[in-house]
Homo-oligomer: A and B are copies of this chain.
Amino acid sequence: MEKLSAYLNQNKERFLEELFGLIRIPSISSISEHKPDMLRAAEYWKETILKAGADKADVIPTAGNPVVYGEKIIDPAKPTVLVYAHYDVMPVDPIDLWTSPPFEPEIRDEKICARGADDDKGQAFMHAKAFESMVATGELPCNVKFMIEGEEEIGSPNLEKFCVDHKDMLKADIILVSDTSMIGQDKPSITVGLRGLAYLEVEVTGPNRDLHSGLFGGAVANPINILSKMIASLTDEQNRITIPGFYDKVIELSPEERAEMAKAPFSLDDYKKALDIKEVHGEAGYSTIERTGIRPTLDVCGIWGGYTGEGAKTVLPSKAYAKISMRLVPNQDHEEISVLFQKHFESIAPASVKVKVTNLHGGQGYVSPTGDKAYIAASKAYEKTFGRKPIPFRSGGSIPIISTFERVLGIKSILMGFGLESDAIHSPNENYPLFNFYKGIETIPWFYKYYTENA
């Protein structure tokens, strides 16, 4: 394994340059005008995998953005690791809060600063380079497959069908994913739980056109006022969600399990300081870690309506909109929750407005066992390179496709995320420390080694 370290050291700069090439492609999956960029990013990945030493690699069309598939089969009797990642990224608004242009990567404070630096171009690229390193040094111990999709940030609408259609091709023993974060650079952790997601857009229409707020105000329903009341009523004084049936399938953890969770290192003071807030805010009766780890939530991700420009325009607008996301815990079904939301939201609308609810996307939550051989191999790999055992951790984030993999392909996933919460993924000034990038490339081959040895 020493050859691997040497190879990494000799190629550090080139690895980074090649990652920058990928980052420079603005592959935002939710904005249709970036369609050509999606294809460019897919081709870039295909070339990257081929050059790294794959037997073959292809850009395979779907009804949406294509999936890049590649493989290197060294011995059918050996285990197979399927690397899953995505080449699409989030939008960049609000653009004026970025210190440097989001698609012109640069290094500041030893961090790669750009959209996708962490999520998921930086993290995914570690796998390409770990794979290249293993091939180049003769240290690849097993078979490898890559499946890099372009629609993760919009809920992977076409990947389930892709899995059904290519079940044989995708056969593997474990799916390896780096799209989560760890607690700290000196506190490695492995994500063993993910939240599900239901994401809907609501439109509230009052009068059929914008009105003069003096001539009509007070007599005609203002859709912003109404929408505010409707949103406000979705959570109660305890910050519990009021949608009937919402909590029916939520599994309450035992006191023992909660005590175990409470052992994860966490400083509420540091947390508040980092976010510049006086108080945290969440469901009564649960700690901050529990609120994101084991409890579902409802957040308005966007709201708009009326006059939002400079100055004081008076208007009683015709329409108001909001984008509402609900993070779900394992056992809650996102489709069921979306239906509950829609029915409830329509039922609370006063007769003075019309309401339209659109289901934009969703995915199931996931829990992975801490006792299986993939977890043990990952744990040993982190211990080797970080010098300490990783902590099992339930993340508040969602990777909806993970539960689909288990259902359709029958394969479990291991979430070896190397990101940090401070990486500002989905936000302005997304970044990824060089330390984490290189540490990932160093750690991944150890997983391959331990996993193969124990298979």
Contact = CB atoms under 8 A, between A and B. Distances in A.
Interface of A: 29-32, 90-91, 93-94, 97, 153-155, 181, 195, 197, 199, 201, 206-222, 224-229, 231-233, 235, 275-283, 288-289, 291-292, 295-317, 320-323, 325, 327, 350-353, 360-361, 395-398, 421, 424-429
Most buried by B among A97, A212, A278, A279: A212
A107 to B, nearest CB: 20
Given A307-B93, A427-B211, A154 B218 contact: no
Given A225-B235, A279-B351, A31 B311 contact: yes
Q: Which of A210, A215, A218 has the most CB of B within 10 A?
A: A218
Given A218-B297, A228-B228, A292-B216, A275 B207 contact: yes
Contacts of A282: 218-220
A427 B209 contact: yes
Interface centre among A275, A302, A396 (most CB of B within 10 A): A302
Contacts of A232: 225, 228-229, 231-233
Given A155-B312, A213-B301, A304-B304, 13 more contacts: A93-B307, A199-B314, A211-B427, A215-B397, A218-B292, A220-B275, A222-B299, A228-B232, A278-B352, A279-B351, A279-B352, A299-B316, A302-B317
25 contacts: A31-B310, A31-B311, A97-B209, A210-B428, A213-B301, A215-B396, A218-B282, A219-B291, A220-B280, A221-B277, A224-B231, A224-B302, A225-B235, A226-B281, A277-B353, A281-B353, A299-B314, A299-B316, A301-B307, A301-B313, A301-B315, A303-B306, A303-B320, A304-B305, A315-B427
A34 to B, nearest CB: 11
A275 B282 CA distance: 40
B301 A304 contact: no
B360 A311 contact: yes
Contacts of A421: 212, 215
A114 B185 CA distance: 61
A271 to B, nearest CB: 8
Contacts of A321: 308
A309 B225 contact: no
Nearest to A213: B299
B310 A302 contact: no
Nearest to A426: B212
Nearest to A297: B218
The 3 closest A-B pairs by CB, nearest first: A30-B311, A218-B297, A214-B397
Given A291-B218, A426-B315, A428-B209, A301 B310 contact: no
Nearest to A32: B310
A214 B279 contact: no
A229 B235 CA distance: 9
Contacts of A281: 206, 219-222, 226, 350, 352-353
Contacts of A218: 282-283, 291-292, 295-297, 299, 327, 396
A218 B239 CA distance: 9
A309 to B, nearest CB: 6
Contact of A305 (B283, B302, B313): B302
B215 A181 contact: yes
A228 B309 CA distance: 20
A397 B211 CA distance: 11
Contacts of A154: 311-312
Contacts of A312: 30, 154-155, 199, 201, 323, 325, 360-361
